[in-house]
Amino acid sequence: MKKFTNEPMYEIIEYFEDILIEKSIVSFEVLNPDICIDKYSGTRVDLEQEYIYRSYKSWVDLSELMFCKMLTPIISSKYTVTLSFKKIDLESSFHKDSNDVNNEKYGIQSEFSKINKNEEPAFLFPYKKALIHTKVYEKKQILNLGVNKADEFETIKQIVYPEVFKNINFVGIDYSKSVIEEAKKRFSEDNFEFYSHDINKLDELNLKKSDLIISISTLQSSSINFKLVFMSLVQNYLEEGGSIILGFPNCRWIGSDIIYGAKNPTYSYSEQSLLYKDVYFCKKYLQQKKFKVTLTGKNYLFLTATSIKK
């Protein structure tokens, strides 16, 4: 087995890439990160021989960049551990699924439906912060576009007191009929309404204005006229003084893992210019409408807008 002591990361990455060409698992021996936990990655340490220290965070990052799952480390010696990385099946992804009359790409039987974003800290933590920033506990009417199974409503339920939750009117809209039926089962209370409907045709529903609008990974769908729908939401469906939370995916789901970085079909690696183009458009538009806009998150960028009108 290959052992790395004081070799640079550049050499390790080249070794990693070469092994993955023919094998699905890469293993090598390195300095145990627990030994020098207070040091920066790249620090040289002398432990009978010279090693370069790297944290577990560095190895997890490398694993993600190589499209691998990092397996449980094994103690190899007094100073070293064996790290193993298993290659992810790049063809195993809901992004490759079709969406037509015979197949709901985001339906209850789909690969996408297996994902629970609320169990991913990279999603849940910034989403929770965004909700608190909008003072969700003061809202009376909340609209969620692309609600799917209503996981975002579940987080609100965990944040606010029960007596507050039951006095908020929730409206969820999604094109997929099967997930709307599932959402109705999860939230059957009288203060919930769910619609299977085309978001491009919201005017057909005669919705009341909401004081919080949420949309996670939906407005950028190819079937939606992004700019027109977004501006219409602000102008026609947001209550005066209301707030907006938009979640922009800066990740992909591959082999049951969340992988950082938006994907442009033109590139073999993550390329994020289109993502930030959409984010900047929304930010600029909302600021012109007298909103304070914050941008948080990593794998999901959360644009949170609160009104500053007096």
**pLDDT tens readout for residues 57-92:** 999 999 999 999 999 999 999 999 999 999 998 887
- Helix (H), strand (E) counts: the chain: 8, 16
Pair (80, 104) in one structural domain = no
Same domain membership, residue 186 and residue 42? no
Q: Are residues 140 and 258 in the same domain?
A: yes
Instruction: Give yes or no: residues 201 and 300 share one domain.
Output: yes
E strands, 32-163, are 44-46, 50-52, 68-70, 74-75, 80-87, 141-145
The CA distances from residue 72 to 25, 82, 83, 146, in Å, are 13, 9, 7, 36
- 288 plus 195 within the same structural domain: yes
Structural domain boundaries, residue 110: 95-307
- Give CA 258 to chain center in angstroms: 8
Residue 108 and residue 58 share a domain? no
Contacts of 7-15 with CB under 8 Å at 24 or more apart are: 7/52, 8/52, 9/42, 9/54, 9/58, 12/62, 13/62
Confidence of residue 100 (pLDDT cuts 50, 70, 90): low
- Picking from 87, 107, 135, the residue at the C-terminal end of a domain is 87
The enclosing H or E element of 57 equals helix 56-65
Q: Are residues 171 and 285 in the same domain?
A: yes
Q: What is the pLDDT of residue 270?
A: 87
235 in the same domain as 103: yes
Report pLDDT for 99: 61
> What mean pLDDT is predicted for residues 38-65?
96
For residue range 264-274, list pLDDT tens digits in order.
777 778 889 99
Average model confidence (pLDDT) across the chain:
93
pLDDT average, residue stretch 12-26: 97
Quick one: pLDDT at residue 122?
95
Query: For the residues 146-152, what does the mean pLDDT come to?
Result: 96
- What is the pTM assigned to this prediction? 0.92
Contact 248, 300 (CB under 8 A): yes
Give residue 160's identity as a one-letter amino acid code.
Answer: V
Domain co-membership, 228 together with 147:
yes
Closest by Cα among 296, 254, 264, 276 to 123: 296
CA dihedral 246, 252, 257, 261 (to 10 degrees): -90
Dihedral sign, CA of 19, 21, 22, 25? positive
Supply the CATH number for residue 293's domain.
3.40.50.150
The per-residue pLDDT for 98 is: 63
pLDDT at 203 over 60: yes
Check whether 258 has a pLDDT greater than 90.
Answer: yes
Domain termination site, one of 67, 87, 107: 87
Categorize the per-residue pLDDT at 94 as very low, low, confident or very high, splitting at 50, 70 and 90: confident
- Taking only the tens place, the pLDDT of each residue in 211-223 is 999 999 999 888 8
* Contact in structure between 56 and 218 (CB atoms under 8 Å): no
Instruction: Tell whether the model's pLDDT for residue 21 goes beyond 70.
Output: yes
Number of domains comprising the chain: 2
Distance CA 253, CA 258 (A): 5
Res 221: pLDDT: 86
User: Are residues 7 and 112 both part of a single domain?
Assistant: no
Same domain, 15 and 117: no
**Residue 126 banded pLDDT, cuts 50, 70, 90:** very high
- Name which residue leads in pLDDT, 103 or 61: 61
Q: Measured between alpha carbons, how far is residue 68 from residues 57, 59, 89, 153, 229 in Å?
A: 14, 11, 9, 32, 37
Residue 277's alpha-carbon distances to 95, 129, 202, 221, 263, in angstroms, are 21, 24, 25, 15, 14
- Of 87, 106, 128, the residue that ends a domain is 87
Residues 129 and 175 in one domain: yes
| Ramachandran sector of residue 43 (left: φ over 0; alpha: ψ -120 to 50; beta: rest) | beta
